[in-house]
Structure 1
Amino acid sequence: MQQGMVMRKVKSRSWKKQRYFMLQDDCMTIWYKSRKTGNAKSACECHLPKADKNRDGRMNFKEVQHLLKMMNVDMDEHHAFRLFQMADKSESGTLEGEEFVLFYKALTQRDEVLSVFQEFSEDGKKLTLLEFVDFLQQEQMEGEGVEELAMELIAKYEPSETGEARHVLSIDGFLAYLCSPDGCIFNPTHKTLFQDMSQPLCHYFISSSHNTYLIEDQLRGQSSIEGYIRALKRGCRCLEVDCWDGPNGEPIVYHGHTFTSKIPFREVISTLEKYAFQASEYPVVLSLENHCSMEQQDVMAQQLKGILGEQLLTTTIDGRVPARMPSPEELKGKILLKGKRLGSLEDALSGEPEEALEPGELLEEEEEEEEGTEPEEEALRNEDKRKEKVGVSAPLPCGLQRLIPPGTLQKSKPSLSKELSDCIVYCKSVSFHSFQHSQSHYRLYEMSSFAEAKARKLIREAGNEFVRHNAWQLTRIYPSGMRTDSSNYNPQEMWNVGCQMVALNFQTAGAEMDLYDGLFNQNGSCGYVLKPGFLRDVETPFSPESLPQSNPLYLAIQVISGQQLPKVVNSKEGSIVDPLVRVEIHGVPADTSKQETKYIDNNGFNPQWGETLRFRVQVPELALLRFKVEDYDKTSRNDFVGQFTLPLSSVKRGYRHIHLLSKDGTAIPPASLFVHVQITELSESD
């Protein structure tokens, strides 16, 4: 509806005319274009019916006041009454029809936008083509072809046919442009596929999920193919599946040694076949956590090949030993398996007999022993006390099992099925010993996985080595087993060293998933984002903890105003938000910072801040910019209102609107922020 469509307006059988209708960005106003002029009609019917208490089709001032409360407006009573009287042309003491449209227009007038408009308009009524070109060049920092861009925007957003024909922009057209995707803070060209997709897989950040089958917590939550559908529709390209022996010879998927429900492996693969390439045509990696017997591993291999068919990659793309990892472009439409493999790819391609797994090596990578952190050791002690108290033996979360000596919980691990092993090509899982060991013993198609704590330790102790390692080999990071509530770690610190598959629990909303969506919403949301050049060089000097000389950026964000901010969920009736805006930089440690505006009392409809927040960013290529609106509370924690996150490299300069998202990442129109963005390159001496 916001893109607009041609509809037929019908008054009678003999009176039918076509009109072009479009829902404005405030989602309360319908605009239509006729031959003579463009007209706006109020669509406040989303709140009128509720505010019109006596159902007479008219609204007295008391009903208008009630409507304002419903719309999150706590307006001065005298000012509201002046607007009411101005709109009451019939002097009836009530508003109806066009009178309410007039009242709504006065209520929603954007004085801060009008001020910008008049700054560039000589007569204060319109922007000529040259005046609009000046605005686009001087404020919006648009580059080449700006005159053609100006004409294109006028044709797209000017409601008056006369104005469009004269190549001028009215205040209504100017506001429509600023509220549109063309006036959004997110560079619209970055919403499309714009990056080089021909580089090796290890040169990309890859959207990855952890325990994809879960849609709740890790202990008792529900397992469902819906988890896979949601992740794939979100552009996720690396999915996890925990496979265990099931009844009737059919493998099942669930979080082992917990009370989570179970789903057949066959259903997961059928879902993957159907949804794998709906949101993105680039390759999907299926991370297998294999706990099955030889017999059921064979069944897994048969189901994978039988259901996925040609989609499943079972040999190198050219039948040769790879000299480099293939690219996303070369692997379009393919599904790759990640897991253990018998022997090397070289032996398989040459026909040499394949070796067995290394002595004592486990099939399932995430049960490798790790050094327990203090919180994990404490959790284990608490679990022992609980078992003593209740006198029962209950299944333990996988994270707790890792701290128990091998062999305590179960007998020896099963061997690997050759049929399943043969399906592993470019993502062979290997145990990590050291970066030096990987460089001297492993091949480029082999990869290791780390729990978040292990990864952090490596970042602290050998940041540059980690960066260089990730320039030639894939790495997957997964959450600690102690996160039984499916909470997430901060993915930014893993991206800072170039880790490609940073797996998060997609079912858990929060700041971590905001960052995730912010990074992967670029490049057409295809699930692959090209890493900066200094993270793709095996000889790079870069380390996030000790920065090399660079040319930083100066970022100044003026938070001007907010528009129709939603009420806090489950808030008291009649309550109105006291909004403040927090602006955060997420990047290397030296860049990570946040600042906030003052809060505005009782105004979620059109709060005005006019405050400028300033940042210095050392490594802009890795920085994410997050805007968060909160409802200020003097006595307790501020409540979440809305947020928007994007890469700093995708930020458009000038006057921009930020269309806010809810806690789970969905749009909440018409809520937005109006800001001015200034980005300046600094020299080393600045």
Structure 2
Amino acid sequence: MDNTLEMSTDISMYDLKQGIESIAEELYNIQSFNNDVILDSYDIDDYDHTQLEIDIDFQKYKSGLPILKISSKGKSQKKKLIFDLEKNQIICGKKKKVNFSEIDEIRVGHKTNIFNQFVSRSKDEESKKTSFSILFSGNLRKSMDFICASIEERRIIVSALYHIVQDSKSVNNEYNFVKKEWDSIGKDTIDFSTLKKVLARLNFSTSDVVLQGLMKFTDTNCDYHLDFSEFSNLLKLLRSHPELKPVFFKYAQGRTDIIPIHGMIQFFKEEQKEEWTIEMCKNLIEKYHHERLDYISFENFEEYLTGDQNLAIYPRCNGVYQDTTRPLTHYFINSSHNTYLSGHQLKGLSTSEMYTYQLRQGCKCVELDVWDGNDGDPIIFHGNTLTSQIKFSHVLQTIKSRGFETSPYPVILSLEVHCSIPQQIIMAQHMKDIFGEMLAMPLPEGSKEFPSLESMKFKILLKGHISKTPGSSTSSSSLGSLAGALNTSSTNFSNEASSSSTTTTTTTTSTSGSNYTTDDDDGAVDFKNDEEPDIKSSSSSFSLGSSKKKPTKEKVAPELSSLIYLVSHSFKSASNTKELPCYLMHSLSEEKVKALVQTDSKEMIMASHEHFFRAYPKGTRFDSSNFDPSPGWSIGNQMIALNQQTSSEPMWINDGMFTDNGGCGYVLKPPCLLPEGCEGFDPSSPERAPLSKYSRLIVTVISARQLPKYTKTTKGEVIDPYVTLSVYGSHYDQKTEKTRVIDNNGFNPHWGEEFEFPLYNSQLAMLLIRVDDKDKVGHNRIGHYCIRVENIRPGYRMIRLKNNFNRSIPLASLLCKFRFEE
């Protein structure tokens, strides 16, 4: 049976007339879903670009304004800058077109990788105050970079652009969405045929009989055409949730049009598992009715349940609410692998923008693969591959300026050093000059516990190798003996580096792609064992498919060693690790982590109380794919380093974990992994964990609204959506369920299907929800959402679906009901 027909029969004439009597603007929340553009001009001048203090001649921008555009290679080019307000685009050159709504950020000054290249080529520092860049949607962090003729011109252009982009993004709210669709029709009224085409574009298709009935309901003057107000009412009707009527009537206490306050209190207690007072109910009623009444209507009841106050995640999770006084090792840390890459491991683009992007996403452990630069200055790239190169110092500047925008908690730099000794010295000089007192100095010898998260605010921690690994053949006192090395020799850094670099062979890079080295702990290819080698020689290499050639060991400069806070150390066993000083840490391959879950999980959990463990993807993931982070978390691994430039289920699970605790990048491990609660917990056991809060999760997938087409356009067929629910976590918390497919309806599909998930340890369980379109050739993802199971609010809850770049899809939502058994 047609799902839309089922829905329409639930809509009474009373509901319809009530909607028709409303003015179109009052039907929608005009402030919903706004996503402001970021404006960064903090270190250039104090001019407020958000205020239009100058009259702007938009006609001038329509015809084109002369400007200098910086190319991807850092060269300046004379171009025309055009604001095409009709097509909603900024244009600069034949192929450079970007929709205003896709612009995420406007930066004033030299603040992109392209400007770094420009300054390196031209030595033009003076243009900083007349320059600006726009960055647009996507994890590639592409930019368009410009130099204006004067500071005044830059102020006018940036102010105009800021307001145009803000206006363009406002279509992400409900009313402007309707207005945009109406304006695109270009007529004062529309007939049945036009309406059918418009709705198909909006992902809604139904029989002519049903659509004629809907049109008749909203055609108030019976002229067989719809004007804007009538069209608005029809879309409002389609966006409504008649499937909520049964629960509304259940608590209406005999009424058909309202729920009295006592019924509301009963609803919140029985369905939502919340304790509401009379005063709380009156405040809620006043918010939607705009007056203090003793009841709530269905329309306002529905508006609350489908609004942002009723999201599936507990509101507390939106801020830092967890204990921050515990040692650093007691937290999961949002970590990235090959942070500098925006795509493929062998031929992708290396860019400092990826550090900005990932740090703003809450990442707190980033990776830097450092190699000798031909000009004597270290560079970052995926060694001996076709990936591009960026200056080490430029990346440090980005990390300093962006590392603490999301939260004040420490940033960990995982250094994979392939440099010669002279350029290691320059590395150390750069880090001291740029970071200064932000650098955390090594812990005292023999330390058994890290300082607290709270005490390490605004600190940068370096992870890497030192010249002699303490705890093996040399005592940990070697760290102490190196502690003053940097200070005593800092004045000689530049001279020593310059005199030595003339006799040092720089990095040999292969452009053919047939021969290249393992360029980090993790390995570019999967030929290494699971133990982390010492620092790699920049000249060691081997061929794909050949037998492994052992990398040549090379000294680490004392100046660099003296800065290392987390010392890389080969892993032997969890019991061995427990005897080592806490600052020695291990990097483990994804395969090693899976094996340890099965063979040594309890010991690993104990070792992770004082020591750091980092997991990384296997080397054969050339396409930057990822692995499930759940096994590593289940044995206490703090850093699961993922290719965060790649959208995939593992990354969605990672996002679900680190959405918690305000997205600050640090999430306190659950009690089952902490010293006071780990007794008796084994993630590989089929027995329920002693501290598991819930034994069962029951999810009812009710309905969705305004699912987008996967083609990124409004063209193509109306989608056939279905929902997949998956639980990840401990070894036995792995289950997937799917709803049926709804044909030809992405605008308001209804499922009403219930699924049960037994839980062995709800503390570690994650729920991943994804919506896909089933078509003739396969399945296409529409949106997703992931959440820690113990962060789910029971009852009827709203979910905002996310896209590949971890951003909410405008207006797209899923309504579910959640129940738990303890």
Shift of 1:664: 3.0
The yes-or-no answer on 1:671 pairing with 2:812 is: yes
Shift of 1:564: 1.5
Shift of 1:44: 1.1
Q: Bigger shift: 603-612 or 647-656? A: 603-612
Shift of 1:371: 6.9
Q: 2 CA distance for matches of 1:566 and 1:300?
A: 47
Shift of 1:537: 2.3
The answer for the alignment partner of 1:406 in structure 2 is 550
Q: Is the 8 A contact 2:687 2:760 kept in 1?
A: no
Q: Bigger shift: 464-473 or 247-256? A: 464-473
The answer for the alignment partner of 1:100 in structure 2 is 231
Q: 1:77 aligns with which of 195, 208, 213?
A: 208
The answer for the alignment partner of 2:803 in structure 1 is 662
The answer for the alignment partner of 1:601 in structure 2 is 743
Q: 2 CA distance for matches of 1:322 and 1:599?
A: 58
Q: Bigger shift: 395-404 or 341-350? A: 395-404
Q: Write the mapping of 1:137-536 to structure 2, written as runs, cut at 5 A.
A: 137-143=269-275, 146-156=277-287, 158=288, 160-161=289-290, 164-316=291-443, 322-342=447-467, 344=470, 347=477, 365-366=521-522, 404-406=548-550, 412-425=552-565, 427-440=566-579, 442-536=580-674
**Residues 516 and 368 of structure 1: CA distance in aligned 2, closer, same or farther (over 3 Å):** closer
Q: Write the mapping of 1:564-643 to structure 2, written as runs, cut at 5 A.
A: 564-569=706-711, 573-633=715-775, 635-643=776-784
Q: Bigger shift: 462-471 or 510-519? A: 462-471
Q: 2 CA distance for matches of 1:70 and 1:209?
A: 38
Shift of 1:503: 0.1
Q: 2:267 aligns with which of 124, 127, 135?
A: 135
The answer for the alignment partner of 1:117 in structure 2 is 248
Which 5+ residue runs of structure 1 have no aligned equivalent?
A: 6-22, 31-41, 356-361, 374-394, 682-686
Shift of 1:83: 2.2
Q: Tell me how large the CA RMSD over aligned residues is.
A: 3.1
Q: 1:44 aligns with which of 169, 178, 193?
A: 178
Q: 1 CA distance for matches of 2:361 and 2:712?
A: 28
**Residues 245 and 105 of structure 1: CA distance in aligned 2, closer, same or farther (over 3 Å):** closer
Shift of 1:367: 5.6
Shift of 1:574: 4.7
The answer for the alignment partner of 1:387 in structure 2 is none
The one-letter amino acid paired with 1:77 is: D
**Residues 540 and 574 of structure 1: CA distance in aligned 2, closer, same or farther (over 3 Å):** same
The answer for the alignment partner of 1:653 in structure 2 is 794
- How far does the alpha carbon of each residue in 1:590-648 deviate from its partner, in whole angstroms, 9 at most, with x for none? 11001111111211111111111111111000000011111124x54322111111000
Q: 2 CA distance for matches of 1:557 and 1:73?
A: 26
Q: 2 CA distance for matches of 1:176 and 1:596?
A: 28
The one-letter amino acid paired with 1:294 is: I
Shift of 1:455: 2.1
Q: 1 CA distance for matches of 2:547 and 2:362?
A: 34
**Residues 193 and 28 of structure 1: CA distance in aligned 2, closer, same or farther (over 3 Å):** closer
Q: Secondary structure at the match of 1:113?
A: helix
Q: 2:701 aligns with which of 559, 562, 570?
A: 559
Q: Secondary structure at the match of 2:456?
A: coil
Q: Secondary structure at the match of 2:778?
A: coil
- How far does the alpha carbon of each residue in 1:190-228 deviate from its partner, in whole angstroms, 9 at most, with x for none? 121111111111111100000001111110111100110
Q: 2 CA distance for matches of 1:120 and 1:337?
A: 58
Q: Is the 8 A contact 1:181 1:188 kept in 2?
A: no
- How far does the alpha carbon of each residue in 1:324-358 deviate from its partner, in whole angstroms, 9 at most, with x for none? 21121110110000011345596268659999xxx
The one-letter amino acid paired with 1:439 is: K
Q: Is the 8 A contact 1:467 1:543 kept in 2?
A: no
Q: Bigger shift: 527-536 or 329-338? A: 527-536
Q: 1 CA distance for matches of 2:242 and 2:171?
A: 16
Q: Is the 8 A contact 1:399 1:480 kept in 2?
A: no
**Residues 149 and 4 of structure 1: CA distance in aligned 2, closer, same or farther (over 3 Å):** farther
The answer for the alignment partner of 1:386 in structure 2 is none
Q: Is the 8 A contact 2:312 2:797 kept in 1?
A: yes
Q: 2 CA distance for matches of 1:454 and 1:183?
A: 41
The answer for the alignment partner of 2:87 in structure 1 is none
- How far does the alpha carbon of each residue in 1:276-325 deviate from its partner, in whole angstroms, 9 at most, with x for none? 10011110100000111111111111100101112111244xx7864421
Q: Secondary structure at the match of 1:632?
A: strand
Report which structure shows greater RCO (CA 8 Å, sep ≥6): 1
The one-letter amino acid paired with 1:603 is: N
Q: Is the 8 A contact 1:560 1:611 kept in 2?
A: yes
**Residues 606 and 126 of structure 1: CA distance in aligned 2, closer, same or farther (over 3 Å):** same
The yes-or-no answer on 1:2 pairing with 2:32 is: yes
The one-letter amino acid paired with 2:362 is: G
**Residues 249 and 171 of structure 1: CA distance in aligned 2, closer, same or farther (over 3 Å):** same
Q: Is the 8 A contact 1:184 1:657 kept in 2?
A: yes
The answer for the alignment partner of 2:218 in structure 1 is 87
Shift of 1:43: 5.1
- How far does the alpha carbon of each residue in 1:530-582 deviate from its partner, in whole angstroms, 9 at most, with x for none? 11122122974422212455355221111111111112226894511111111
% identical equivalent positions: 33
Q: 2 CA distance for matches of 1:88 and 1:223?
A: 57
**Residues 595 and 229 of structure 1: CA distance in aligned 2, closer, same or farther (over 3 Å):** same
Shift of 1:180: 2.0
Shift of 1:148: 4.5
Q: 2 CA distance for matches of 1:87 and 1:465?
A: 67
Aligned length: 611
Shift of 1:270: 0.5
Q: 2 CA distance for matches of 1:94 and 1:396?
A: 75
Q: TM-score, normalised by structure 1?
A: 0.83
The answer for the alignment partner of 1:126 in structure 2 is 258
Q: 2 CA distance for matches of 1:236 and 1:113?
A: 39
The one-letter amino acid paired with 1:306 is: D
Q: 1 CA distance for matches of 2:171 and 2:368?
A: 42
Q: Is the 8 A contact 2:310 2:797 kept in 1?
A: yes
Q: 2 CA distance for matches of 1:328 and 1:169?
A: 46
The answer for the alignment partner of 2:683 in structure 1 is 544
